[in-house]
Structure 1
């Protein structure tokens, strides 16, 4: 776990919209919208989201909205990040987590503050390089990253206690289910644009059991690398 990023990076204590006050207001909104897990809220209260987006958008960093990060990708809405993280750790705190789709690195950083080890896979090289730079700046040393097709997961490092997917596939990827440990939990958006649902899948004694946690909107899960 790496819960000290806010103390390691002076820019996380900036003025105006990048201040602690702005993060506090964001967390208040998340609570009002139903987020209850204090562990998740505490991490998001500390984590400087403005460091994960372009400087030109910094004034919007603590709005509860998705924002563009280039390459046709977005940094997820904070409520979605909070809800997915809450769903992933609700029953028990996993030790090792696989993230599919590093993107800006924000979701990964939230997880890194909560669990022992995060493995993250990103198909777009430029996004991964930017995310790695942010991880170094924040002192997040418990993240391992890989440039690859995220649909394949990271089989040589599996199985994982939990898997989180940050882009929507038409269906759950069999390769990812195969890397989910017994009693593990997978959270992923699934479905076509406009009809996506956030699924939570548990790997129990009788196989995989899924539940739909509600409607969401994500960029599509694509294959290959770029």
Structure 2
């Protein structure tokens, strides 16, 4: 049952990528990204009572006012990151661990930061249990990044803020790419791609209107 639903979802994602190529600049997903999406069982990353909805192309709640992102958005953000096998990537916003699991098969290592202690603990256990050994999770303020392992070849942020946190720009390697939804809590957000040139100069491009949970700085922000 899950396999048929998974295959149907991948077809839907690829169709949506084609339909939005005029805005995203991506007419198709790379074969590496498609294979990574195919290999990750999304049902393992959603709450038990939402198992039947795991392969619907929509975000789902995972508790603590957080969500697992829409599969199309996960696919698009992964594609825009242009992941390579020798890269080290920073993820801000581990959530259930689904995005990190997708990246696990595409890059050398993922360092993922989650602000909610319970989610960080659950994601760590889940990723280890499912065999994703190229991901390290820590609980903390994702807007500060994970400086001990910087600089990063790429950075992906799965929560929206009014601007890209300066610490993340600092931790991005020259030549690297950062993908993040930028905007406010109550008005339009845009998925933004930021590239850092060899000279440290940034170029930015808004790709697509999106809706993400806000980037928070401490568990108390979720109260």
Query: What TM-score, normalized to structure 2?
Result: 0.90
Residues 121-180 of structure 1 show CA distances to partners (whole Å, capped at 9, x for unaligned) of 001011111111211121111111111100000011100000000000011110100000
Q: Would you say 1:51 and 2:51 are equivalent positions?
A: no
Matches within 5 A, 1:1-226: 16=1, 19-34=2-17, 35-89=28-82, 95-192=87-184, 193-206=186-199, 207-225=201-219
Note the C-alpha offset of 1:36: 2.1
8 A contact 1:198–1:216 mirrored in 2: yes
Q: CA RMSD in A?
A: 1.3
Counterpart Cα distance in 2 of 1:88 and 1:49: 20
> Distance between the aligned counterparts of 1:38 and 1:118, measured in 2?
20
- Helix, strand or coil at the partner of 1:33: helix
Give distance in 2, aligned partners of 1:36 and 1:100.
23
Displacement after TM superposition at 1:225 (Å):
3.9
Which residue in 2 is equivalent to 1:9? none
Q: Distance in 2 between matches of 1:83 and 1:214?
A: 10
How many positions carry a matched residue from both structures?
Answer: 208
TM-score when normalising by structure 1: 0.89
Instruction: Quickly say closer, same or farther: Cα 1:162–1:94, change in 2 above 3 A.
Output: farther
Instruction: Tell me by how many angstroms 1:205 deviates.
Output: 3.1
CA contact (8 A) 1:94 1:161 kept: no
Gapped regions of structure 2 (runs ≥ 5): 18-27
